[in-house]
Homo-oligomer: A and B are copies of this chain.
Amino acid sequence: MLKLTKRTEYGLIALVHLADQATLAPAGEPVPVVSARAIGDLFPVPRRLLAEALKQLQQDGIVNSTRGAHGGYRLSRAATEISLGEVISSLEGEPSLTSCAGLGAAGSNHSCEVEPVCPIRSPLARLRTGIWTLFEGITLQSLTDRAIDPNALFAGVAEENDGFSATG
């Protein structure tokens, strides 16, 4: 299943909203604080899961939280300094692509039996690294630019990835 979890989507929605709010803020205040309730009022998402996603993002240093009345969340950095890879890694763990992803020398608890003779492990690990690098190059800021032309995000990728064999 090459699909993001709902937790990740909710977290991304919240982050995009926070980024929007931060953009609107003047230079005086650090950034406005938005509560999970406020975000839940704007978007029809389960408030609880939204809060849970934000909590996770706080633990990983992507957002800062303020407790108590008038509390809420704000981005810990500028939207241009937060990568999509970081967010995904926080909300649903490192993307593995295979079951034998991160197990190098340390945790070989339940490694795949095929591993010693697996013919696809190495290529898929390469692919995983490539996707990961791709995600880390996408900033939260670029996600907020949702009205721009659809070709901007992947200008170079589509043409550059087949420089080895492909159909041509």
Taking beta carbons and an 8 Å cutoff, which residues of A are in contact with B? Answer: 1-6, 9, 12-13, 16-17, 20, 42-45, 80-81, 84, 88, 92, 95-99, 101, 113-114, 117-120, 122-127, 129-131, 133-134, 137-139, 141-146, 150, 152-158, 160-167
Instruction: Select one of B1, B20, B127 contacting A92, CB under 8 A.
Output: B1
Instruction: Give the complex CA separation of A4 and B124 in angstroms.
Output: 10
Evaluate contact between A13 and B120: CB separation under 8 angstroms.
yes
Evaluate contact between A150 and B138: CB separation under 8 angstroms.
no
Evaluate contact between B114 and A45: CB separation under 8 angstroms.
yes
Evaluate contact between B154 and A42: CB separation under 8 angstroms.
no
Instruction: Give the complex CA separation of A145 and B126 in angstroms.
Output: 12
Closest B residue to A11 using CB positions: B120
CB-CB < 8 A to A152: which residues of B?
164
Q: Known: A142-B123, A146-B123. Contact between A133 and B161, CB under 8 A?
A: yes
> Which 3 pairs across A and B sit closest by C-beta, in order of nearness?
A156-B160, A2-B95, A130-B154
Instruction: Select one of B97, B117, B150, B165 contacting A43, CB under 8 A.
Output: B117
Evaluate contact between A142 and B154: CB separation under 8 angstroms.
no
Evaluate contact between A157 and B155: CB separation under 8 angstroms.
no
Evaluate contact between B146 and A119: CB separation under 8 angstroms.
yes
CB-CB < 8 A to A134: which residues of B?
130-131, 134, 157-158, 161
Evaluate contact between B162 and A113: CB separation under 8 angstroms.
no
Closest B residue to A128 using CB positions: B2
Instruction: Select one of B9, B114, B153, B160 contacting A127, CB under 8 A.
Output: B153
Instruction: Give the complex CA separation of A113 and B160 in angstroms.
Output: 36
